[in-house]
Every structure is written in structure tokens, then in C-alpha cells.
Amino acid sequence: MKRISGTQIVINFIGSHPGCTFSEIRTGTGLHSSVVNSAIWATFNDGRVLRAGERKGYGNYEDGILWVGELSNNGEMKYGLNIANANYPEEGSITVFEFDEPLREGADK
């Protein structure tokens, strides 16, 4: 039988328990805290998981919808590259990068 690495055990736990905390990972896997810590750093550094939210839990990235256009931010119109959560687009968007001026249709590049 193939032995499963501590990192893979942590990844599997996070996948089954999105938003879990370090303590929950340690308790749920039974792994020593140093193994959990190493696994989290390895998966965080290569982009497989991130730490986010009010509880600072670990989980997977969400899909996003990128779009270019005007966005009202506190009454101020901004034109740029915007992103919305693909699962909850009704929650609104945020500007990732603001352009100096709108691109014009048919403009030379």
C-alpha cells in the first residue's frame, strides 16, 4: 500500500473542510503541528490554497469573472479591469487595475 504524505493528507482535509483553521486541520488529521505547518506553507506558496475570511481559514481559490468597463466605487466612476466572484456575481465587483482613460473602439494600437 502506498504511503500518503503529510502534505497530501492536509490537502485532502482542506478540500473536505473548506474554511478550516490550523487547529481544525491538526485535530482532524492527527498530524503533528510541524507537519501541518510545513504542508500549509508548501501549498500556500505554490498557490494551491490560501488563507482568507474572518476566521482566517484555509481553502481553495474561487473562480472569478474579469471584465473591462466602468464601475461606480462610492459614487466615483472608474474605468478599468474589474473582477466579480463567479459564484456570486450579484455581490458586485472590484477594480483590479484602473486605466488612465477608456480604450476607444477602432483606435490604433
Note down the domain range covering 87: 64-98
Residues 43 and 12 reside in one and the same domain: yes
Asked if the structure places residue 106 within a domain, the reply is no
pLDDT of residue 103: 62
Closest-CA residue to 12 (of 43, 46, 52, 51): 43
Higher pLDDT, 79 or 61: 79
57 pLDDT more than 60: no
Question: Rounded mean pLDDT of the chain?
Answer: 77
Asked if the structure places residue 71 within a domain, the reply is yes
For the chain, how many structural domains are there in total? 2
Residues 15 and 36 reside in one and the same domain: yes
Residues 77-82 have a mean pLDDT of 83
pLDDT of residue 31: 94
3-state SS, the chain, equals: CCCCCHHHHHHHHHHHCCCECHHHHHHHHCCCHHHHHHHHHHHHHCCCCEEECCCCEEECCCCEEEEEEEEEECCEEEEEEEEEECCCHHHCEEEEEECCCCCCCCCCC
The per-residue pLDDT for range 10-31, each reduced to its tens digit, is 888 888 887 788 888 899 999 9
